[in-house]
């Protein structure tokens, strides 16, 4: 909280109360990482422990994920409470939060830079990595970019417009527009995820088939995970908007969600242009969407 005395605020910075969440979050992340590693590689720590790890099955992943979700709920609930308490989040604190969100999104950008770097490496030197020495590999049947992928692009771009509408409504004090803008954005986010799941279910290649499949699923799947996280972020903002937590002057929680969602939009445009359009092979899947013939 801000340092205060009988004479008022002494310093604009934020001193948090002693909290258990950092250590709980560290332990939870460690449990989830260990569970994921031993689930995919049960003999990672030797064959002697392999049977022990295998005996837990998928439940060790459930435990790790549950602990992480519990940490997220508890920690962010505390942050929401602090933001709703007058005097805690001063102008300097809110500026610091904005810097933190910008740096977080910048770090996310680096993830996708790595994926695009990998994709271009294989695309520019197919003679070293693919069957037929072409990109995409000659044995890969790619997606028709102007069918379901294009529909997903329209869905995501429309969601960017609806979240902007919600933001403008909030600034103008229009709570009804804020709520409906968020409702539409959440629906569109869910629709995008459903379409991508349908696309994956009808893919003509598997994750382990070749280098093209691995890069495709890693890049688009990691983006899909971000859409899922962003949708949850917006659902939380929707609940807070209904409860009246946001005001035209103070609503950084919503702004952070909107920034994140626009980042997801922009990344998808690059994915669509590079992987689906420029990466379309000589043979592509027949359409599944509304423009199918």
- What is the DSSP code string of 95-135? HHHHHHHHHHHHHHHHHHHHHHHHHHHHHH-GGGTSGGG-S
Per residue in 93-106, pLDDT (tens digit) is: 788 889 999 999 99
Domain with CATH 1.10.287.70 in the chain: 1-89
Is the CB of residue 141 less than 8 Å from the CB of residue 205? yes
pTM above 0.85, yes or no: no
Least confident of 32-46, 145-159, 175-189, 256-270: 32-46
CA dist 186 to 101, 113, 209, 222, Å? Answer: 21, 27, 34, 19
Asked if residue 84 has pLDDT above 80, the reply is no
**Which residue, 258, 268, 183, is CA-closest to 223?**
268
CA dist 201 to 25, 122, 156, Å? Answer: 34, 25, 20
For domain 1-89, the question of CATH label 1.10.287.70 is answered with yes
The rounded percent of the chain whose pLDDT value lies above 70 is 89
Domain with CATH 1.20.120.80 in the chain: 97-293
12 confidence band (pLDDT: 50, 70, 90): low
**Chain centroid to CA 70:** 18
- Classify domain 97-293 at the CATH superfamily level: Cytochrome c oxidase, subunit III, four-helix bundle (1.20.120.80)
Per residue in 205-222, pLDDT (tens digit) is: 887 778 888 999 999 999
Torsion over CA of 81, 87, 90 and 93, rounded to 10 degrees? Answer: -40
Q: What is the pLDDT of residue 14?
A: 63
Per residue in 219-241, pLDDT (tens digit) is: 999 999 999 999 999 999 999 99
CA dist 213 to 126, 129, 207, 289, Å? Answer: 14, 12, 5, 22
- Arithmetic mean of pLDDT, 253-277: 95
Q: What is the pLDDT of residue 5?
A: 43
290 confidence band (pLDDT: 50, 70, 90): very low
Q: How far apart are CA 71 and CA 291, in angstroms?
A: 44
- Arithmetic mean of pLDDT, 41-67: 81
- φ/ψ of 8, rounded to 5, equals 105, -160
Q: How far apart are CA 87 and CA 81, in angstroms?
A: 12
Q: What is the pLDDT of residue 115?
A: 93
Most confident of the ranges 61-70, 136-145, 273-282: 61-70
Per residue in 156-208, pLDDT (tens digit) is: 999 999 999 999 999 999 999 999 999 999 999 999 999 999 999 998 888 77
Q: Tell me the pLDDT of the chain averaged across its residues.
A: 86
């Amino acid at each position: 909280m801000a340092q205060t005395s009988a004479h008022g605020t002494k310093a604009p910075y934020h001193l948090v109360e002693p909290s258990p969440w950092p250590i709980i979050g560290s332990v939870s992340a460690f449990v989830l990482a260990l569970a994921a590693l031993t689930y995919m590689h049960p003999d990672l720590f030797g064959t002697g422990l392999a049977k022990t790890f295998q005996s837990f099955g998928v439940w060790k992943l459930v435990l790790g994920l549950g602990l992480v979700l519990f940490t997220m709920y508890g920690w962010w609930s505390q942050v929401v409470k602090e933001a709703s308490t007058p005097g805690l989040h001063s102008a300097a604190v809110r500026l610091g939060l904005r810097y933190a969100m910008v740096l977080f999104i910048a770090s996310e950008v680096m993830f996708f830079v790595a994926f695009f770097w990998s994709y271009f490496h294989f695309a520019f030197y197919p003679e070293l990595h693919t069957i037929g020495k072409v990109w995409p590999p000659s044995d890969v049947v790619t997606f028709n970019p102007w069918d379901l992928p294009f529909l997903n692009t329209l869905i995501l771009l429309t969601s960017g417009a609806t979240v902007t509408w919600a933001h403008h409504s909030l600034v103008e004090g229009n709570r009804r527009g804020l709520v409906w803008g968020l409702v539409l954005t959440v629906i569109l986010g869910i629709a995008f995820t459903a379409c991508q799941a349908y696309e994956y279910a009808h893919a003509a290649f598997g994750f382990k088939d070749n280098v093209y499949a691995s890069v495709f699923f890693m890049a688009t799947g990691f983006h899909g995970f971000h859409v899922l996280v962003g949708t949850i972020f917006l659902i939380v903002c929707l609940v807070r908007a209904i409860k009246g937590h946001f005001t035209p002057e103070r609503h950084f929680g919503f702004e952070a969600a909107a920034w994140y969602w626009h980042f997801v939009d922009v990344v998808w445009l690059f994915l669509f242009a590079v992987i689906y359009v420029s990466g379309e092979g000589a043979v592509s899947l027949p359409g599944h969407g509304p423009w199918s013939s």
